[in-house]
Amino acid sequence: MSLPMDRPRQEHEAEAAAATGVGELAGLVAGQPRFAEYALLLESWTGLLSGPALPLIEDSLTLLSHLEDARTVVDVGSGGGMPGLPLKLARPELQVTLLESDRRKAAFLVHAAARLDLELDVVAERAETAGRGPLRDSFDLAVSRALAGPVSVLLELCLPLVRPGGRLLAMRTAGDVGQDRELETAAAAAEALGGGRPVVRTAPSAARERGAVLIVPKLSPTPSAFPRRPGVPNRRPLGE
């Protein structure tokens, strides 16, 4: 279930999603040699992936149709760089920051950016820490693919990094989000963090037939109480 969205944005996103289908994503990846190079880097770094990289890269690119006019992007819990690094390859003008607390994964991100000749920032910090530092309330978009768990936790880790007027784009699976109760809990958490009503849009790919994107607008600065100390959002999710 999707919550209501203003009509002009609904129409814009429907047209954009139709323009970037599964086949077109595969064609985009096939036409850019650096995607293949990135895939080889991912597959050669022990412990990052358990399967082929290219379908996951294509999956990350489902966010392209939702970027609109964003210039600054933070990828929260970036892991091996998805979705932030594929978005940077597809849209070189984006100013991308990859936020990853695992030092070994952060080292891979620095290595991959150098090998692919990409100008981006890698920040080896927990999201709770970054959300209380210079990155707070500063990005047009926060994106996330790897963060699991309750939506309210994801919101507390990501929304403090988004400027008022920006948005969160969180990649999920249809069914994991969309239930009335979960959306209401997410809406309450978003409001507490300075966000607006969440909506869910389908975003299928070869890797995730039931892929979805949770979209949350940032309406006002995040109150000073959030994010809470590292580990607290997971132990005591907002609204639960």
16-25, 42-51, 136-145, 217-226, range with the lowest pLDDT = 16-25
Q: Is the pLDDT of residue 239 over 90?
A: no
In this predicted structure, the answer to whether residue 9 has a pLDDT above a threshold of 70 is no
DSSP string for residues in 130-178: HTTTTTTT-EEEEEESS--S-HHHHHHHHGGGEEEEEEEEEEEEBTTB-
Q: Which helix (H) or strand (E) holds 23?
A: helix 22-30
Q: Give the helix/strand (H/E) hosting 213.
A: strand 211-217
For the segment 9-21, the average pLDDT, to the nearest whole number, is 42
Q: Give the global pTM.
A: 0.88
Mean pLDDT of 124-149: 95
Per the model's pLDDT, the better-predicted residue between 146 and 170 turns out to be 170
Predicted local confidence at residue 39, as pLDDT: 96
User: Would you place residue 146 in the very low, low, confident or very high pLDDT band (cuts 50, 70, 90)?
Assistant: confident
pLDDT at 7: 35
As to burial, measured by CB atoms within 10 angstroms (0-12 exposed, 13-18 middle, 19+ buried), residue 1 is exposed
- Cβ distance 66 to 91 under 8 Å? no
> Domains in the chain, ordered, with CATH?
7-221 (3.40.50.150)
> In terms of pLDDT, which residue wins out, 81 or 23?
81
CB-side neighbour CA atoms (13 Å) of 29: 27
Q: Are 144 and 76 in contact (CB under 8 A)?
A: yes
Q: Which long-range contacts (CB under 8 A, 24 or more apart) does 35-39 make?
A: 35/86, 35/89, 37/115, 37/116, 38/81, 38/85, 38/86, 38/89, 38/112, 38/116
> Across the beta sheet with 162-173, what order do the strands follow?
121-123, 95-99, 72-76, 139-144, 162-173, 211-217, 199-202
Per-residue confidence band for 50, with pLDDT thresholds at 50, 70 and 90: confident
Over range 43-67, report the average pLDDT.
94
pLDDT digits (tens, 9 = 90+) for 204-220: 998 988 899 999 999 99
Q: Kindly tell me if the per-residue pLDDT of 5 is higher than 50.
A: no
Query: How many residues can be counted in the chain?
Result: 240
Per-residue pLDDT, 42: 97
Strand (E) or helix (H) holding 11? helix 7-19
Residue 188: name the closest of 228, 231, 159, 146 by CA.
Answer: 159
End-to-end CA distance of the chain: 21
Of 8-12, 102-106, 130-134, 201-205, minimum mean pLDDT range: 8-12
Q: How far apart are CA 195 and CA 169, in angstroms?
A: 12
Lowest mean pLDDT among 30-39, 172-181, 216-225: 172-181
Which of 57 and 2 is assigned the larger pLDDT?
57
